[in-house]
Chain A
Amino acid sequence: MHNPFFVTYFVIIPLLSAFLISIIGKYVKHRYVEMVASISCFLLLVFSLQGLNILRKASDSVLVYKLGGWALPFGICMVFDGLAGFMLFTVNLIAFLICLYSINYMEKYTDKPKFFTLFFLMLTGMNGLIITGDLFNLFVFLEVASISSYALVAFGTEAEELEASFKYAIMGSVASCFIFLGIALLYGFASTLNMADMANVLSTKPSNWLIPFVSVLFLMGFGLKAALVPFHGWLPDAHSSAPASISAMLSGVLIKTLGLYALMRIFFNVLGVSGIYLSALMFLGALSIIVALVLAVVQWDIKRLLAYSTISQIGYIVLGIGLGTPLGILGGLFHLFNHSTSKSLLFLNAGAVDYSINTRDLREMSGLKQKMPVTANTNLIGSVAISGIPPFHGFFSKLIIVLACIQRGFIGYALAAVIGSLLTLSAVMKMQRYAFLGELKEQYKNIKEVPFLMKFSMSCLAIICIVGGILLLPNLKFFLDSAVNVILEGRDYGRLVMEASIR
């Protein structure tokens, strides 16, 4: 049996580096700050790979670490299972590459140590939210991640950034209030805060009006964090105003962890929902796909275009998960991973363009491919991967989602997914066409390709986009299957965690 202590490193390492960087940042050269940041991100990636290794040996393994040694229903615990392992790997992979990218990219801004402090606090929040087994602890980590992301959106302190940050902070805080209210009501009903214990208690108690009410509160709160369509107003502003590396982080992993992961965990594993809630999820997902893409195609700001496209891809994930069948959930989770990599890549490309020519308006750029071949080529790969062209990984996940829709008999939703795919292609190809193809403009004759580390992280993400489809091969499928099984087991989660905590 593995020692579950390694689970705590996912919180300890980023938290420690955040405080270390904020203390030493004033006194040492920026080079050492960068070194600390990249080493701790690398360590996190190594630990998440170790977690995957445990899952490879036994895909149903559940590791429980009891903080302070308190027995389970009373103390706070940290739970590592298939879904947590999947999410931890996704988050820490993206965080590592974005950390490398930021080392060069953040030269544009003044205060690099403060940036890395906030970056690691955000990472602490996300990792903590993924591994925690306690409902209130989940809320605290959610707030840690949210508050640092509000500050990061305003990092440039220009007028637009502050405006976007204020909007994001108000909407995010109201969402947190609804989540808090939901947690309070659940505590009043079940008299426990531990998620495993709560799942057990809820499955023995008779159902009453409270569970639907709490589900709606959570759907509203986490839906706002995940930017599903009726709640998406803050996302285009916040994601387009933030520094590019933070846009990639927000769009790639933050909204998925804070919104979708928490929603999945609470809906499936604690509340054990079914039927009408899943239909609501599917409807919101399909609505997001279409509405957001129609808005995306008409944008001229690169990052705003990508931000709208993010909302629609979130719609795909929610649609897949809302189907509730093994195939649908597999497609949803696979698309979650694929979208993290490809959308981060696209945002990093937008950042690279911004870094070189200092504008984000598509109408002002043209022919950059001659001067920035790496950015242009990785952008092409990311674009075709996200819109689902066959050899790339986005194709497989979208295909699985469409097949799962047809399998359940929802032809309309399948059609929405296919149309959405075409619209995505037209939206991202607009970026490719206006930014990279065509004649090179006179004022851009002297621009250079971006520095090495930025090229490196973009190329890594592009390689993942190309070979990502191998995750469906039998040898590597444990990565997705173990996560799918956790969602499918529903309230059995409580029993499994309780058993694992005694071992």
Chain B
Amino acid sequence: MTIYFLCFILFCIGLYGILRKRNLVKIIIGFSILGYAMNLFMVLLGYRFQGRAPIDSNAQDILNMVDPIPQGLVLTSIVIGLGITALLISVAIRIYEKYGTFDITKIKRLKG
């Protein structure tokens, strides 16, 4: 149970970073942490403590096997997260070139 709670704390840290930080780079880092929390939660859902690797063989019992599907899904999700992070960073660099700052309170040429 503790580990789920720690995962939830990681989620909250990510959300805090996105909502409260003013620096674009820190927002991106917050987003990455949020993504890690999600992925960790997905892996935890399929994980069994003292389980064994999900390799099918005759002699072994299926009951204490770790569920492999969330791990496969998380791989996909990590790749998606990488794509978004790369895009966000490149946009942030271009914003820095245009505005000369990473501070979101100064980047407000769009109104209402």
Interface residues of A (CB under 8 A from B): 136, 140, 143, 147, 150-151, 154, 157-160, 162-166, 169-170, 173-174, 176-177, 180-181, 184, 187-188, 193, 236-237, 241, 295
- Cβ of A154 and Cβ of B76 under 8 Å apart? no
CB distance from A297 to the nearest CB of B (A): 13
B91 at the interface (CB under 8 A from A): yes
B10 at the interface (CB under 8 A from A): no
B9 at the interface (CB under 8 A from A): no
B42 at the interface (CB under 8 A from A): yes
Which B residues from 58 to 112 make CB contacts under 8 A with A?
A: 69-70, 73, 76-77, 80, 83-84, 87-88, 91-92, 94-95, 98-99, 107-110, 112
- A236 neighbours in B (Cβ, 8 Å): 112
Separation of A1 and B87 alpha carbons in the complex (Å): 45
CB distance from A136 to the nearest CB of B (A): 6
Q: A143-B80, A184-B41 are in contact. Are A177 and B88 (CB under 8 A)?
A: no
Q: A140-B76, A154-B91, A180-B77 are in contact. Are A166 and B109 (CB under 8 A)?
A: no
B53 at the interface (CB under 8 A from A): no
- Cβ of B109 and Cβ of A170 under 8 Å apart? no
- Cβ of B95 and Cβ of A173 under 8 Å apart? no
- Cβ of B98 and Cβ of A147 under 8 Å apart? no
- Cβ of B99 and Cβ of A165 under 8 Å apart? no
Q: A160-B110, A193-B69 are in contact. Are A166 and B45 (CB under 8 A)?
A: no
A159-B109, A184-B45, A295-B112 known; 13 other A-B pairs, CB under 8 Å?
Answer: A147-B80, A147-B83, A147-B84, A157-B94, A162-B98, A163-B108, A163-B110, A165-B91, A173-B84, A177-B34, A184-B38, A187-B70, A236-B112
6 contacts between A and B (CB under 8 A): A140-B80, A147-B83, A163-B107, A166-B92, A170-B27, A174-B15
Separation of A236 and B111 alpha carbons in the complex (Å): 10
- B80 neighbours in A (Cβ, 8 Å): 140, 143, 147, 176
- B77 neighbours in A (Cβ, 8 Å): 180
- Cβ of A188 and Cβ of B38 under 8 Å apart? no
- B76 neighbours in A (Cβ, 8 Å): 136, 140
Question: Contact check: which of B41, B83, B108 meets A181 at CB < 8 Å?
Answer: B41
- Cβ of B110 and Cβ of A241 under 8 Å apart? yes
Which B residues from 30 to 45 make CB contacts under 8 A with A?
A: 31, 34-35, 38, 41-42, 45
- Cβ of B45 and Cβ of A188 under 8 Å apart? yes
Q: What count of chain B residues pass the 8 Å CB interface test? A: 32
- A188 neighbours in B (Cβ, 8 Å): 45
CB distance from A498 to the nearest CB of B (A): 20
- B24 neighbours in A (Cβ, 8 Å): 166
CB distance from A179 to the nearest CB of B (A): 10
Q: Nearest chain-B residue to A240 (Cβ)?
A: B110
- Cβ of A184 and Cβ of B42 under 8 Å apart? yes
- B69 neighbours in A (Cβ, 8 Å): 187, 193
Q: A173-B84, A188-B45 are in contact. Are A160 and B109 (CB under 8 A)?
A: yes
Q: A157-B94, A188-B45, A237-B110 are in contact. Are A169 and B35 (CB under 8 A)?
A: no
Q: Nearest chain-B residue to A172 (Cβ)?
A: B84
CB distance from A194 to the nearest CB of B (A): 12
- B95 neighbours in A (Cβ, 8 Å): 159, 162-163, 166
Scoring B15, B84, B108, B110 by chain A CB atoms within 10 A of each residue's CB, the highest score goes to: B110
Question: Contact check: which of A170, A184, A295 meets B31 at CB < 8 Å?
Answer: A170
- Cβ of A177 and Cβ of B35 under 8 Å apart? yes
- Cβ of B109 and Cβ of A163 under 8 Å apart? yes
CB distance from A128 to the nearest CB of B (A): 14
- A136 neighbours in B (Cβ, 8 Å): 73, 76
Q: A136-B73, A187-B70, A237-B110 are in contact. Are A181 and B87 (CB under 8 A)?
A: no
Separation of A176 and B31 alpha carbons in the complex (Å): 11
Separation of A184 and B37 alpha carbons in the complex (Å): 12
Q: Nearest chain-B residue to A233 (Cβ)?
A: B112
Question: Contact check: which of B18, B87, B94, B109 meets A174 at CB < 8 Å?
Answer: B18
CB distance from A178 to the nearest CB of B (A): 9
- Cβ of A169 and Cβ of B91 under 8 Å apart? yes
- Cβ of A159 and Cβ of B98 under 8 Å apart? yes
Separation of A369 and B76 alpha carbons in the complex (Å): 52
Separation of A256 and B83 alpha carbons in the complex (Å): 24
Question: Contact check: which of A163, A166, A176 meets B88 at CB < 8 Å?
Answer: A166
Separation of A295 and B111 alpha carbons in the complex (Å): 12
Q: Nearest chain-B residue to A147 (Cβ)?
A: B83
Separation of A180 and B42 alpha carbons in the complex (Å): 9
Separation of A237 and B107 alpha carbons in the complex (Å): 13
Separation of A394 and B1 alpha carbons in the complex (Å): 54
- Cβ of A164 and Cβ of B110 under 8 Å apart? yes
